[in-house]
Structure 1
């Protein structure tokens, strides 16, 4: 059951100061696409821009939403806006169910498994498929428009899986920094690659971070040490108990990941404002030879984390319960991490891995997910559902990855076939190629964008030219 609802015009300013225009629409979508037990519906939100669209020849660039509100993708997928003008394309940004305004059961969405159980990958892909069908049937001008799905991160994985699952609807897919095989990757690969970003910038910095965990533990073992950390690090929540120490170390881990992911060569604000080359900035204090003693090391570490936590220099205190950082933005993403998109993570605490040693225990993880959400994790869901991304009928998929992006550990880094291709970006970080063009872009990022455009042109040339179908009374 699908029905178009609301239309509103919006102007958004992207981080680089450029303007992106879109209108907001909603489509009534079934909560459950795969059974006859419920007729419940919810409004799925999507954004549309047809500024560049030529109804005679233009394709649809369909951006699959992920673990954020859909505006995040509209404002951080600059490449899509730039190539839409080249290909005279219509741009559609589709919000992921249970994100933003697209929540089945509204305020009750996360209240119990009864309402939350419809948050699955397959239900989400079916939402996107139904939206494509709706768009094509809404006007004869769109009925034959080829669709190319696009995305980055988890949304990039969804873009690729749309091509695998609905090849009759999707001509091709562009997946940037897409962790499509993360479940089957060694659990220490992601932390190891985060560490590698810091080590490439400053081996002394990486070594200091590696030593810092024991320095924190030694300080936290005594009341005076906890008081020292609380005061000198200006913590909003003093370290009164082991739980607060745990939050502190989890928060530090999240900061290192964040800095590695968004280590752009220009200032930017994906979440928190960051300076250009933030890892280099963060490592300045820790690269000194004067950080051998615990006190000196922890003082320097505070300066390091301030690159993330206090870029403006105006913060009165720092909150180690930073939910946006620790929870990766949404409850929905955390539910999926406990159900179908489990990402086993562990740290060895050695071999170029500067995190505190922590094993991955499937039983402990399962118990945590059962206690929090009432679900049993499916550790092999992706492999059993989609198999090898390049197997069988998969075709017309491009994977791009920055080799300094930790998520590249779970993506496709090689050509699977003549039509499932990979382009690796030496020194590149998370979905850098999908952002708006910037004067500081490294040459491999520019090449990656040209690689994508070459394949888009190839895909579009493979379909029969769309017959002119513009009518004077149908605009």
Structure 2
């Protein structure tokens, strides 16, 4: 997921802020999954219900274990080490069975995944030993004393892959799993890591399931909002038109300071609206658009099993509010959506202040308000991925947060210039291959409603690099526990993935 998605921006609440991240960069976090609440995993890159046959403990009670890891895998002269958190589930293991490794993402690793999820269904059937490794710099895995930009230089997908490689090597030796076949799992950004782990360390990883994985890095990602428009229209063709009318009205109102008191009241802002720069208005507009972006990304999924709030808010619910003429003009309905989200997350008011966001994101303490993943993930977007969901396309319903607004934050937070960002993104695609991955035994599930599918693999690259494109599903939907209301195409997708694993483990 995303993988995805969150932390950085206090949208409607801390939980919505996590959603923003998942959305913002693949988001997910999937195995952070909104543990604070950021995208399983986007990213803003969640939660679910249960399927579970042999629970190993009560929810969230999986034992924390710790692994000694090198700070810098690419500098043999640097002896520094740190402790990385991981979890184990041996309940399904049968001697000679495979090892399943769930990859953590841009947020805290959630122990709920050690008890439930589609991967554990596969593990039970295949007799797998299950591990989950938390990503460096997220959750409780703190490699450095703080989150200063100098220390964040040790945060990258390449260092994370090297963590996985060393962890896999040592675990195989110490737990007697040397002859076992290892399978990597991940969703959103961790889905990308799962694919890249197989790509870069094929001698260590036999196969990978890369769910909702954005494998193509791009500075500007306006296609995200284009998918949001199409997904809203799939529910009601008038819905994105009403959203656009409301957004355009707000943009016009923001031009007149006399309207600021009314806007403050309409959207229940925590403090009186002040627009001193274009970034102030862009932040407000992006925050409100985020209500729709987040719901689309996770529409109708089964995140409830992990305790995530708001899973009852779907595209259908938002579009029904936007279609309710009794609420007034589209602008008033737009405000009603914001209030609905605040009520859902028990948030008293909406903090839409860019100055507050800037202060939070430049706080380098592990106790800082953005240390749950926001400061770290946005750093990765500025130094590796981009993924900025701008309003630069005319084929989407929002206005007011163009690419320069996003790019300037890299300079504000980490002193990364636009040129450095562009070069870093190009290097990422050069290193991993973007859409042109050349490997084997990697399956790429994606959902058609999920905006991240645009940056993923949705068609077979080859017979050994298949795609599973699931119509009508959202971000990382195939990873969640099964439930009776799942659409048949989602059930078939999970079955397809299992059949591939069966086949590949025989090879």
Q: Which bin holds the TM-score, normalised by the shorter protein?
A: 0.7 to 0.9
Q: Which residue of 2 aligns with 1:471?
A: none
Q: CA separation of 1:357/1:155 partners in 2, compared to 1, >3 Å: closer, same or farther?
A: same
How far the C-alpha of 1:139 sits from its partner, in A, is 3.1
How far the C-alpha of 1:166 sits from its partner, in A, is 0.3
Q: Are residues 1:152 and 2:191 paired? A: no
Q: Which residue of 1 aligns with 2:89?
A: 49
Q: CA separation of 1:79/1:35 partners in 2, compared to 1, >3 Å: closer, same or farther?
A: same
Question: For 1:283 and 1:445, how far apart are their aligned partners in 2?
Answer: 24
Q: Are residues 1:458 and 2:503 paired? A: yes
Of 265, 269, 286, 1:250 maps to 286
Q: Which residue of 2 aligns with 1:473?
A: none
Q: Which residue of 1 aligns with 2:15?
A: none
Query: Runs of 4 or more off by more than 6 Å in structure 1?
Result: 322-328
Q: Are residues 1:330 and 2:362 paired? A: no
Q: Which residue of 1 aligns with 2:148?
A: 111
Q: Cα RMSD (Å) of the superposition?
A: 2.8
What are the ranges of 5 or more consecutive residues in structure 1 without an aligned counterpart?
1-11, 463-475
Check conservation: 2:105, 2:190, Cα contact below 8 A. yes
Q: Are residues 1:425 and 2:466 paired? A: no
Q: Deviations over 1:298-346 (max 9, x none)?
A: 221122233422226x543233369799979422111100001222443
Q: Which residue of 1 aligns with 2:337?
A: 304
Q: Deviations over 1:137-181 (max 9, x none)?
A: 1033x1211100000000000000000000000000001100012
SS of equivalent to 1:92: strand
Of 237, 244, 257, 1:203 maps to 237
Check conservation: 1:265, 1:277, Cα contact below 8 A. no
Q: Equivalences for 1:345-384 in 2 at 5 Å?
A: 345-348=389-392, 350-351=394-395, 353-356=396-399, 359-361=402-404, 368-375=409-416, 376-377=420-421, 378-384=424-430
Question: For 1:80 and 1:43, how far apart are their aligned partners in 2?
Answer: 26
Q: Which has the larger radius of gyration?
A: 1
Q: CA separation of 1:60/1:15 partners in 2, compared to 1, >3 Å: closer, same or farther?
A: same
Check conservation: 2:190, 2:213, Cα contact below 8 A. yes
Q: CA separation of 1:384/1:72 partners in 2, compared to 1, >3 Å: closer, same or farther?
A: farther
Q: Are residues 1:163 and 2:203 paired? A: no
Q: CA separation of 1:227/1:76 partners in 2, compared to 1, >3 Å: closer, same or farther?
A: farther
Structure with greater contact order relative to length (CA < 8 Å, sep ≥ 6) = 2
Q: Are residues 1:65 and 2:104 paired? A: yes
Q: CA separation of 1:435/1:267 partners in 2, compared to 1, >3 Å: closer, same or farther?
A: closer
Q: Which residue of 2 aligns with 1:28?
A: 68
Question: For 2:382 and 2:135, how far apart are their aligned partners in 1?
Answer: 17
What are the ranges of 5 or more consecutive residues in structure 2 without an aligned counterpart?
1-34, 36-46, 362-368
- TM-score normalized by structure 1? 0.84
Question: For 1:212 and 1:350, how far apart are their aligned partners in 2?
Answer: 16
Check conservation: 1:25, 1:46, Cα contact below 8 A. yes
How far the C-alpha of 1:272 sits from its partner, in A, is 5.7
Check conservation: 2:299, 2:315, Cα contact below 8 A. yes
Check conservation: 1:183, 1:382, Cα contact below 8 A. no
Q: Equivalences for 1:72-221 in 2 at 5 Å?
A: 74=113, 78-106=117-145, 108=146, 110-113=147-150, 115-140=151-176, 142-183=177-218, 187-221=221-255
Question: For 1:445 and 1:63, how far apart are their aligned partners in 2?
Answer: 21
Q: Equivalences for 1:380-391 in 2 at 5 Å?
A: 380-388=426-434, 391=437
Question: Greater share of strand residues, 1 or 2?
Answer: 1
- TM-score normalized by structure 2? 0.79
Question: For 2:98 and 2:311, how far apart are their aligned partners in 1?
Answer: 37
Q: How many residues align?
A: 436
